[in-house]
Amino acid sequence: MLRTTGGSVNPAAYEGYLKGVGTSRAMTRPGISILRITALNGAVKTDPRFALGFAELGEAYRLKNQVDPNTKWIDEASANCSHALQLDEHLPAAYITLGQLHSHMEQFDLPCRNSSMLFNWSPIMPTP
């Protein structure tokens, strides 16, 4: 997984990232969401160029919205994924979360465009 960070991530930030993703996504209780978000916020504060950390933070906010529906969680998820893509426009995790957010908001055209970009950048799919 470290190779997807470009090898430039701060080790302390990566440790915070692992704490955040180590919390099972299946556990969607409010307390678990807070722990996940806290760990990931620490990771991206430690390394503000950690694109994968921002993408996973976006996913954590998306999951928090499932437990505690609130547009502020959707806004946080979208903002963190967008920031991740500013840092690394080839990051599949950010596109996947954005696609899920757009689908949730019934913006069905946007996930299709994001998905087509994702398929073009997939390491297992040759670029035309």
Q: Can you give the pLDDT at residue 5? A: 53
- The whole-number pLDDT of residue 4 equals 52
pTM, to two decimals: 0.75
Rounded distance between C-alpha atoms, residue 6 and residue 13, angstroms: 14
Degrees to nearest 5, angle at CA 118 with 2 and 26: 60
Amino acid letter, 6: G
The DSSP symbol for 83 reads: H
Per-block average pLDDT, block size 10, for the chain (128 residues)? Answer: 57 85 65 88 94 94 91 95 93 90 65 49 46
